[in-house]
Amino acid sequence: MLIGLVKEIKNHEYRVGLTPNCVSEYVSAGHRVIFEKGAGVGAGFEDDAYIKVGGEPVDAPEDVWQAAEMIVKVKEPIQSEYKYLRDGLILYTYLHLAADKPLTDALVASRTAGIAYETITDEAGGLPCLVPMSEIAGRMSVAQGAKYIEKTYGGMGVLLSGVPGVKKADVMIIGGGTVGMEACKIAIGLGANVTIMDINTKRLAYLDDLFGSRIQTLYSTPSNIREGLGRADVVVGAVLIPGRKAPHLVRKDDLSLMQKGSVLVDVAVDQGGCFETTHATTHQEPTFIVDGVVHYCVANMPGAVARTATIALTNTTIRLGLELAGKGVKEAIRENTNLRAGVNTYDGNITCKGVADAFNYNYVDIGRLI
């Protein structure tokens, strides 16, 4: 199959859909890979690295889009790329269609096979292509809290680890899933006092087994949260209720309980945020202050570590990408139910129930089309 790699053109997106290692795997499997010159530079992969493993450089993105049978990307196409969508094209990327009606319409109208990383499943029913980004955001969250609590950024001027004779900082993590657990590891590593809350008691038991006496686990209730806010130097919001907006677990009034210069890091901002005062920020201007409390609410945290994020993402997408290339889309999704779960649009139909429901469109079971 002819695989195409294009440069991401969404604002400040530096990740890329294939590393040179991935290209090497496709080429070894007998496929051809054409890539837009400069596609990987933002993630630290120069053109030469792709050429060395058999990638074929192309000047113009439209030439890649038009020639390739499968385009491997990171982010959903933006408006200026819709013209490249066409019947017979496989688009393998994050799509997040339930939040994007124009793109859904464009994929359906063009009859593109849209395979969305975010709905691909694994044997345990998890969403393997979302996990690495949560791992990254979780690890970054405490590092960002440690930075923005510095005086120059409006923080209270505290070192999370303390020093001999000076108290360690208190880090409170609300939500003990992937983001929360990774945040916990970094907070422990920095030597902070860590409290982690969740409403899933099995998860709390797991975290307790894993981290033992190095952390305090607490059932997440409004009163436990409010009590914790009074002590916390850094609070990480890491909750998720699948398919729903994040609940507001910290209200604006609650900020008065907090110390001036403490920091709220709302990782759940991409689901609306779990603090009432959250609004999405960017890497250019990551923070704002409300009632003396610093808020960090960057919606695409992994974008700041494009190289790590690219490698982590492609580690989870390469195997299924090779299956698509090797068998063709129809055969690959017929044989692999996890990959089938990733098919959001096919042959002019919406084949993901969540997307169809979001726009009141007709849902067609992919099983009927293959």
Does the annotation mark 279 as catalytic? no
Please, which residues bridge with residue 173 across strands?
196, 236
For ligand NAD, which residue of 119, 300, 308, 317 counts as binding (CB under 6 A)?
Answer: 300
The answer to whether 224 and 255 have CB atoms below 8 angstroms apart is no
Check residue 316 for interaction with ligand NAD (CB under 6 A): no
Lay out the site mask for ligand NAD across 67-106 (x = CB under 6 A, - = otherwise): ----------------------------------------
The DSSP 8-state label assigned to residue 283 in this structure reads: S
| Residue 322: both structure tokens together | 């090779």
For ligand NAD, which residue of 38, 44, 57, 177 counts as binding (CB under 6 A)?
Answer: 177
d(C-alpha 317, C-alpha 3), whole Å: 14
Q: Which of residues 333-362 bind ligand NAD (CB under 6 A)?
A: none
For ligand NAD, which residue of 198, 233, 254, 323 counts as binding (CB under 6 A)?
Answer: 198
- Measured from the CB atom, the residue of 161 and 200 that comes closer to ligand NAD is 200
What single letter denotes the amino acid at residue 349? N
The CB-of-363 to ligand NAD minimum distance in angstroms stands at 23
Q: For 15, what's the count of Cα atoms within 13 Å in the CB-facing half-sphere?
A: 23
The CB-of-66 to ligand NAD minimum distance in angstroms stands at 33
Check residue 200 for interaction with ligand NAD (CB under 6 A): yes
Please, which residues bridge with residue 93 across strands?
116
What single letter denotes the amino acid at residue 182? E
| Residue 140: both structure tokens together | 């970054």
What single letter denotes the amino acid at residue 179? V
Does the annotation mark 96 as catalytic? yes
Q: Which of residues 235-274 bind ligand NAD (CB under 6 A)?
A: 238-241, 246-247, 249, 267-271
The answer to whether 131 and 178 have CB atoms below 8 angstroms apart is yes
Smallest Cα–Cα separation from 234: which of 164, 307, 293?
A: 293
The answer to whether 55 and 32 have CB atoms below 8 angstroms apart is no
- Measured from the CB atom, the residue of 1 and 301 that comes closer to ligand NAD is 301
Lay out the site mask for ligand NAD across 118-137 (x = CB under 6 A, - = otherwise): ---------------xx--x
From residue 22, alpha-carbon distances to 7, 50, 311 in Å are 16, 9, 10
Q: Which stretch binds ligand NAD (CB under 6 A): 81-89, 165-173, 193-201, 361-369?
A: 193-201
d(C-alpha 274, C-alpha 270), whole Å: 10
Of the residues 47, 63, 96, 248, which is catalytic? 96
Binding residues with ligand NAD: total (CB under 6 A):
32
Active site residues: 96, 270
Contacting positions for ligand NAD (CB under 6 A): 133-134, 137, 174-180, 197-200, 203, 220, 238-241, 246-247, 249, 267-271, 299-302
